């Protein structure tokens, strides 16, 4: 019912519904951006740790 209300309100031009949908879209976009940044830094950390560990192990032999 909530989704139906949002769709009908958006199509009919209900300003409150449009604001709610736009607000949720912005929050979702920011969340996706933050998640992408976190994934980037975790991948970069994993590469750094793997490289450091490999160099340390190679140095033993």
State the average pLDDT for the chain: 93
Q: Could you report the per-residue pLDDT of 13-34, keeping only the tens digit for each?
A: 889 989 999 999 999 999 999 9
Burial of 14 (C-beta count, 10 Å sphere; 0-12/13-18/19+)? middle
Q: Are the beta carbons of 18 and 8 closer than 8 angstroms?
A: no
Q: What integer is the mean pLDDT of 31-53?
A: 98
* pTM listed for this prediction: 0.70
**Rounded mean pLDDT, 47-60:** 94
- pLDDT at 43 > cutoff 90: yes
pLDDT at 32: 98
Closest listed residue to residue 21, CA positions, set 31, 12, 9: 9
């Amino acid at each position: 019912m909530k989704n139906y209300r949002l769709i009908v309100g958006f199509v009919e031009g209900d300003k409150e519904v449009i604001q709610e949908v736009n607000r949720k879209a912005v929050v979702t976009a920011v969340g996706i951006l933050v998640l992408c940044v976190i994934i980037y830094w975790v991948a970069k950390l994993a590469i750094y740790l793997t490289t450091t560990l490999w160099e340390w192990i190679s140095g033993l032999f």
